[in-house]
């Protein structure tokens, strides 16, 4: 880097740049699950967890992509910078890549809720991670904790920043995303599989939180996954 090289990192790779001291005083991003750790271990770094791509450093020669699939953004950006925007667009079209601008905020929102200070709430989090499909998950957590639903709501939000129901919705939607990417199950089936009997409610909630309908999300990210899997199958 000191000799003029451009360094690029995706996912948790930004941690290596920070460890080397290259990010001090600069903007950065990393995988949503590592943002809090990056801030804590390297307080001089300006972490932007909501951004999927960040250019920083002298001459903008430190380039970081956030979440797991953001390396595609990174690859296209490098092609655009080093070759041309037209070449990057051609590669994107050839590989069915949608240069997305959604960012990592939905994932970051879930990651920020993880905590260990309140042991009772932590126990509820562990339980709901396996039972989020339950028909009455908040009532079940209240029973598990021995708290009234009102007390659970107040204590859960104080510990995580989300109400128990918001936390359940976030878990369910993250699972729904995986199902939409991985297969061709009807949206109504996916809604039931993650805990929603009302597919219409699921569609509205998904669009409100993800900023895409389930069908739009599948079209965008299912095609991306297929394009990535294609060479391996060949």
Is 154 found in the same domain as 59?
Answer: no
Q: What is the pLDDT of residues 97-148, one digit of tens each?
A: 655 444 444 444 444 455 557 889 888 988 888 898 999 999 999 999 999 9
**Does the residue 157 lie in any domain?**
yes
What's the domain count of the chain? Answer: 2
pLDDT (average), residues 20-37: 90
pLDDT tier for residue 69 given thresholds of 50, 70 and 90 = low
Is 130 found in the same domain as 78?
Answer: no
**Does the residue 13 lie in any domain?**
yes
**Does the residue 211 lie in any domain?**
yes
Parent domain of 208: 113-225
pLDDT tier for residue 96 given thresholds of 50, 70 and 90 = low
pLDDT tier for residue 151 given thresholds of 50, 70 and 90 = very high
Is 141 found in the same domain as 65?
Answer: no
Question: CA 7 to CA 5: how far, in whole Å?
Answer: 6
**Does the residue 99 lie in any domain?**
no
**Does the residue 108 lie in any domain?**
no
At 226 the pLDDT is 55
Question: CA 111 to CA 193: how far, in whole Å?
Answer: 23
Report yes or no: 47 and 83 within 8 Å, Cβ to Cβ: no
Is 205 found in the same domain as 119?
Answer: yes
| Domain limit, last residue, from 94, 128, 155 | 94
**Does the residue 135 lie in any domain?**
yes
Alpha-helical runs (H) found in the chain: 14-19, 35-41, 71-82, 85-94, 105-111, 119-131, 137-145, 149-160, 164-182, 187-193, 199-210, 214-233
Question: CA 61 to CA 196: how far, in whole Å?
Answer: 46
| Domain limit, last residue, from 94, 124, 140 | 94
């Amino acid at each position: 880097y000191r000799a003029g090289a451009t360094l690029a990192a995706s996912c948790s790779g930004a941690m290596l740049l920070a460890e080397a001291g290259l990010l001090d005083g600069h903007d950065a991003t990393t995988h949503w699950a590592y943002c809090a750790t990056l801030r804590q271990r390297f307080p001089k770094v300006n972490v932007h967890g909501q951004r999927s791509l960040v250019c920083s450093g002298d001459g903008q020669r430190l380039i970081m992509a956030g979440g797991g699939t953001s390396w595609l953004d990174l690859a296209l950006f490098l092609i655009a910078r080093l070759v041309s925007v037209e070449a990057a667009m051609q590669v994107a079209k050839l590989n069915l890549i949608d240069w997305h601008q959604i960012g990592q905020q939905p994932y970051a929102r879930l990651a920020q809720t993880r905590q260990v200070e309140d042991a009772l709430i932590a126990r509820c989090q562990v339980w709901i991670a396996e039972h989020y499909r339950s028909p009455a998950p908040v009532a079940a957590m209240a029973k598990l904790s021995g708290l009234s639903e009102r007390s659970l709501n107040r204590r859960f939000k104080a510990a995580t920043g989300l109400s128990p129901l918001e936390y359940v919705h976030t878990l369910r939607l993250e699972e729904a995303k995986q199902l939409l990417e991985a297969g061709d199950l009807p949206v109504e089936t996916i809604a039931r599989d993650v805990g929603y009997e009302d597919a219409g409610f699921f569609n509205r909630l998904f669009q409100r939180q993800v900023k895409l309908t389930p069908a739009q999300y599948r079209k965008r990210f299912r095609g991306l996954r297929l394009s990535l899997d294609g060479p391996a199958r060949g």
